[in-house]
């Protein structure tokens, strides 16, 4: 029999967590504010807690938005999403809270958040919440032959 014995140096014994969850959403300037275009972001590992049982709820967050002057920075978004890991929240409330926070940070022309929750008690839940800037209308859809 062969045995592998690993020894850890003092620098490998400690695991440092370089990034911590935060409730702050960072932004950057839209590089093309004169054009309507859509940014789609999928967050496949959203987790919060069921407020009734304390059990974890898992969801995929699908964010679609037409930026105005600001775009959301992706690492900051990831750390923001992680901040919900230990919070109890109903699906409807957490979806609308996340949308409200994203809208407050970026003031987009349009934003839609679709939260697709995994099964809980034999029931799947999908919550869709939208924001539209006053006086903004999307360009007509162009259908090519």
- For residue 16, pLDDT over 80 is answered with no
What's the confidence (pLDDT) of residue 11?
54
Q: Within a 13 Å sphere around the CA of 109, how many CA atoms are in the beta-carbon half? A: 17
Tokens 């209308």 appear where?
137
What's the confidence (pLDDT) of residue 64?
98
Residue 115: count other Cβ atoms within 10 Å of its Cβ. Answer: 25
Catalytic positions: 50, 57
The H-or-E segment that residue 74 falls in is helix 74-82
Q: Say how far apart CA 99 and CA 112 lie, in whole Å.
A: 8
- For residue 23, pLDDT over 90 is answered with no
What are phi and psi for residue 113, nearest 5 degrees?
-120, 120
What's the confidence (pLDDT) of residue 139?
86
* Range from 4-18, 25-39, 79-93, 126-140 carrying the lowest mean pLDDT: 4-18
pTM: 0.83
- Domains of the chain (ranges plus CATH)? 27-132 (3.30.1130.10)
- For residue 1, pLDDT over 50 is answered with no
């Amino acid at each position: 029999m062969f045995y592998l014995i690993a020894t850890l140096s003092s620098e490998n014994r400690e695991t440092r967590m370089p990034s911590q969850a935060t409730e702050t959403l960072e932004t950057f300037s839209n590089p093309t504010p004169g054009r309507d275009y859509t940014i789609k972001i999928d967050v496949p590992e959203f987790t919060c807690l069921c407020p009734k049982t304390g059990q974890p709820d898992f969801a995929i967050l699908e964010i679609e938005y037409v930026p105005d002057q600001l775009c959301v920075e992706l690492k900051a978004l990831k750390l923001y999403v992680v901040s919900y890991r230990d919070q109890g929240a109903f699906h409807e409330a957490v979806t609308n809270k996340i949308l409200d926070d994203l809208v407050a940070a970026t003031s987009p022309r349009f934003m839609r958040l679709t939260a697709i929750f995994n099964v809980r008690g034999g029931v799947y839940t999908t919550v869709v919440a939208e924001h539209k800037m006053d006086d903004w209308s999307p360009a007509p859809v162009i259908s090519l032959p």
